[in-house]
Amino acid sequence: MAVSNKELRAKRGTIDNLLFILRHIWSWDKGVFSTIGFHSIFMAAAPFIWVFAPKYLIDELLGLKRFEFLVGILIAAFLASATANYFTAYLIGAYRMKMSNIRFHFIHMMNEKAMAMDFKHTEDPSVLNSIQQAWRTVHNPYNGIGGVLQKLFNIFGSLIGFLGYVTIIFILNPIILAYLVVNVLINYYLTLRAKEYERNRKDELSQHERKSIYLGRTMSDFQYGKDIRIYGLKQMLMEKKEHFDRKRLEIAEDVQAKLFKVSLVDSVLLLLREGIVYVYLVYRVIEGSLSIGNFTMYAAAISSFASWMNTFLLDIAFIKVNCQYANDFRDFLETEDDDTKKDTTDIPTDKPYQLELRGISFKYPNSENYIFKNLSLKIKAGEKLAIVGINGAGKTTLVKLLTRLYQPTSGEILLNGVNILEFDEKAYFKLFSVVFQEIKMFAFTVAENITFRERAYEMTRLISAIERAGIKDKIDSLDKGLNTSVLKVLDQYGTEFSGGENQKLALARALYKNGEIIILDEPTAALDPLAEYNMYNSFNEMIGNRTAIYISHRLSSTRFCDTVAFFEGGKIVEYGSHEELIRLKGKYAEMFNLQAQYYRDQQLAKEA
Ligand code: ADP
Ligand code: MG
């Protein structure tokens, strides 16, 4: 068994995370790097035009006042400036497109993982949080990986520009340079601390956020609309959401207060910085060791220096912090699956298949309750097994284990005598046609919902599946037939099917897939018992000699099954053919007689 995700959380270094990002960018779009390179050059060079030009202009104005020289400087400065602006604008546009594209690639990675990871993770709150954080890492163009990309675009330009200022000020006076550097470093350190604080509270924030988002979605998801109205849930939902939103705001306010303090300190530092240096420059001019032109140049350089150094350092800090987001993203991608996914024993070819549970115990992740303890059950090749029992007996859990969505805590499940973990997971999934208890329709067309193919589906097979599932007439009655959209989320003309119709569509899905092992987990709850009996009966004929498991808390499926397993509290309390169990006069017989009364009444009502 894999360790839980929390313990796996790796702390990777900034460089490690940065390389992770760069490596992926390199594999998707190498042009990104030359775009960054050219932009850096223009970005670094442009501001110096307006550091140097005024110096020459002023010195000339106070000296020889040559007209051609003055005009020449102005024209050169304007041309250089215009060129730099033109290319910068072009490169920014080009880079923006590239950034979106790269983010889409990362999002794609994440979605792929979400669909392929072990199913058990989908209920693990720590994994759910980690998805939420991975999502934040890739979804915002200004934060997380998007933020790193933004900064990468500027950082080399900042660095070169910063070094230019360092040189100029060093020439003026190394002590002034040192003074400025220390001043900016103090500010930088404080800002960094505030940002770290922000990040540290992010886990907490993301939990509240997830809850609030869930509630928000529930409020506007009309699947819940009926219950919300009838049970008067409005108030409760609002209060719950407000509670989590308040928590979010509290954290945001806390962080904001920290940032505000830093900016106050920064203002004081700025006054000290510029004040002292100006006094020094003025003194040098009066002393006669600095021309007015040079005074202007140094003043411009000094006031820009701090902001460039600050920008540069903050960019580094920003990259550092956002690389931590990349760390979350990688944590999610590396959410550990049980290491059996790609085991490669070939799926046996002798059909129908035989399944065996051998002494399995099982409890859900993050739960101490054993659903099964040392349960054994054999399903013979081609056998039709009915599993019956009241709600909560463990029937659906058994399906999840047989289909390998979960793994037993101990014991093993065998397919034709081979532990199912030895097969490649995908190949194993392929064997099954399952209709799950909660039927999920996608916002695709009817045909896509049944075949899960966009176009390349087999029409005859599809028609036969909907005919046999008893939903063909309904589909034919729709304007667009098989091309009707299901649900209204993406298509306002989409159709909502009734519960019973959805179940029939799900049956058609199972029939179309034509899996070698059939499992129906109470797919007929929305049908009345008689219709259910008829459905099972005809379904049973369709699947021929394939191995099948029919689950129901009603007993209409049991008559034509070879064997009945009666579950109670995770144990098989009665096992045998329908007739045997009736003769046993135990729990099954009691339940059957109770329900049989109902069937007889129905039958009579029909015949009358
Ligand atoms: P049945 O299908 O027979 O009605 P289930 O197999 O769905 O019963 O559930 C068996 C028991 O397992 C129930 O007590 C249920 O509360 C518990 N259970 C089901 N799913 C989970 C889960 N994801 N995590 C923890 N407990 C679960
Ligand atoms: Mg169930």
| 123 within ligand 1 shell (Cβ under 6 A) | yes
Kindly give the distance from the C-alpha atom of residue 392 to the centroid of ligand 2, in angstroms, as a whole number: 7
- Which top CATH class is 11-333? mainly alpha
What is the CATH topology of the domain spanning 348-431+518-608?
Answer: Rossmann fold (3.40.50)
Given a contact cutoff of 8 angstroms between Cβ atoms, the answer to whether 547 and 379 are in contact is: yes
Rounded CA-CA distance 463/88 in Å is 59
The ligand that comes nearest to the alpha carbon of residue 565 is: 1
Q: How far is the CA of 401 from the centre of ligand 2 (A)?
A: 13
> CATH for 437-514?
3.40.50.300
Ligand 1 in contact with 391 (CB < 6 A)?
yes
pLDDT along the chain (608 residues), means of 10: 46 91 95 93 88 90 91 94 92 93 94 90 84 87 90 90 91 91 87 83 86 91 84 90 94 90 88 88 93 90 85 86 88 83 82 94 90 94 91 92 93 95 91 88 91 86 90 92 86 85 90 91 73 75 88 78 91 93 91 77 58
Provide the pLDDT for residue 374.
Answer: 94
pLDDT at 10: 65
Question: Can you give the pTM of this predicted structure?
Answer: 0.76
Give the C-alpha separation, 31 to 26, whole Å: 8
Residue 435, SS3 per DSSP: strand
pLDDT of residue 599: 64
Q: Which atom of ligand 1 is nearest to the CA of 394?
A: 6
Would you state the pLDDT for residue 1? 35
Q: Residue 593: how many CB atoms within 10 A of its CB?
A: 12
From CA 17, how far away is CA 323, in angstroms rounded? 6
Residue at 563: amino acid letter: T
pLDDT at 190: 86
One fold for 348-431+518-608 and 437-514: yes
The residues spanned by each domain of the chain are: 11-333, 348-431+518-608, 437-514
Beta carbons of 607 and 538 less than 8 angstroms apart: no
Strands lying side by side in the sheet with 410-415: 370-379, 355-363, 410-415, 418-419
CA 526 – ligand 2 centroid, Å: 14
- Which of 122, 124, 128, 364 to mutate to test ligand 1, by most ligand atoms within 8 A of the CB atom? 364
Q: Give the residue whose CA is nearest to atom 5 of ligand 1.
A: 394
d(CA 352, CA 380): 9
Hey, is 357 helix, strand or coil?
strand
Q: Which pLDDT belongs to residue 3?
A: 39
Q: Cα of 301 to ligand 2 centre, how many Å?
A: 73
Say how far apart CA 588 and CA 327 lie, in whole Å: 55
